[in-house]
Chains A and B, each alone.
Chain A
Amino acid sequence: MDPSIRKIAFTLNGQKVSAQVESHINLVDLLRRFNLDGARESCGQGLCGCCTVLVDGVAVSGCLTLAQLVDGKSLTTVEGLDASGALSVVQQAFIDEGAFQCGFCTPGFVLMTHQLLETNADPDEHEIRDYLAGNLCRCAAYPEIIRAVKTAGDRMRAIST
């Protein structure tokens, strides 16, 4: 067998799955094979955040991650956030604040917001801007995105207290 092809097993949004993957394909390509298109390759250089995936709970750029290297890991994509049937607090906040227009970048912003609020429950505007600096929204919904992050943070703190 071609040694550049390898069978990997990993957890995808809570489900144990496996795949035969070529060495050169990246994480976004891999997710397409599972019919998940929330992570999108846009800039292809790790700059825009559209391909954000959580690997073992840590946000990475799917476009810069070799698919074979997620063997044994646990992946969360935007599709995993409402697996229970209800939108996540962050997703609902993005809708309520109108924090998108075309929606192409939104999965990345939503996942990064989850990650931010996990480490910093009440970020100020400066911290939000710093954290999301690596996510680009070409519709420029930035003011609404910042409001959505604050709203999501407020609601999450209200739930946890």
Chain B
Amino acid sequence: MRNFDIVHPSSWAEALGLLSGGDEGTRAFSGGTALMLMMKSGFYAPTRLIHLGALEARCSFIEATADGGLLIGAAATLSSVEASPVVQRSAPVIAQAMKKLANVRVRNVARVGGALAHGDPHMDLPPILAALGGEVLLCGPDGERTCPVESFYTGYLETRLSQGELITGVRLPPQAGWRSAYVKCTTRAADDWPTVGVAVSLRVVSGAIADARIMVGAATERLTRLTSAEAALRLGAPDAATFARAADAAAQEAVTVDSASGSAGYKTELLRVYVRRTLAEALLNGAVQ
């Protein structure tokens, strides 16, 4: 690694100002687990890192919103999300997924904002937050705005985060009545990056699937919502036959990509299996109260 400057802004305004220059070598840096790997491999050589440490305390909140939703600050560590009683109650799928995300040390320092900003489709959190209907909260030179997690990713490592913008948090709508699950498949070792990750959220009303969201990560170039698979579920009975139809639709719809962890064709077949399994697990998980 080459040397670079590390700057420590003490306010959001200062951090945004430092990021507004349009310099590719300037990056916001928090837990740093993802950026450090890019820097160590020589994939990214920064000239200046904007360390957000001084802003972390006021942006680490995890709280229930008045409408029964959830608000998670960008600087909340993945460990704090995992341990949060509010998360365990109102979005248990997130807390469960944390247990198999990287390892304890990474979760101790990696933060929700970074997990959203990184844009690697292999990350576990974006598909889950998208399936829950989450919105990314952004703050930039032109003020605050939001973007649905499901449409935040435009390509591999590419997001809708604009120049000079920072993620301040993520907001989830009320999950009452929704059943959710996230299942990933790692093809080399249990703790490897996923080859396919599927997050689903569905609502069953009077014995029929009233609403569903299905997100796929890892197997595709970017986080992708599988709308035809969702359509195959709608108004069907939550049973194996309906889930199999949705799985076939998912396999048809998703544009999987080749990588060292498997060919595109192999990932398509994995996706067919994992959509079915994730839907079954969501049903078993029961509805959030």
Contact = CB atoms under 8 A, between A and B. Distances in A.
Interface SS, A side: mixed
Given A58-B108, A60-B108, A66-B36, A134 B103 contact: yes
A77 interface: no
B59 interface: no
B51 A69 contact: yes
B32 A46 contact: no
Interface string B178-215: 00000000000011000000000000000000000000
A59 interface: yes
Nearest to B39: A24
Contact of A24 (B2, B53, B99): B2
A23 interface: yes
Interface string B1-38: 11111100000000000000000000000001100110
Nearest to B51: A69
A59 B105 contact: yes
B109 interface: yes
A121 B4 CA distance: 43
B109 A60 contact: yes
B280 to A, nearest CB: 22
Nearest to B34: A64
Interface stretch (A2-10, A91-99, A143-151): A2-10
B4 A45 contact: no
A63 B1 CA distance: 13
B191 A4 contact: no
A150 to B, nearest CB: 18
A45 B99 contact: no
Contact of B3 (A23, A49, A64, A131): A23
A3 B103 CA distance: 34
A3 B6 CA distance: 9
A46 B5 contact: no
Given A3-B5, A133-B190, A133-B191, A49 B37 contact: no
Given A24-B4, A46-B103, 6 more contacts: A2-B3, A4-B5, A46-B106, A58-B108, A59-B108, A69-B32
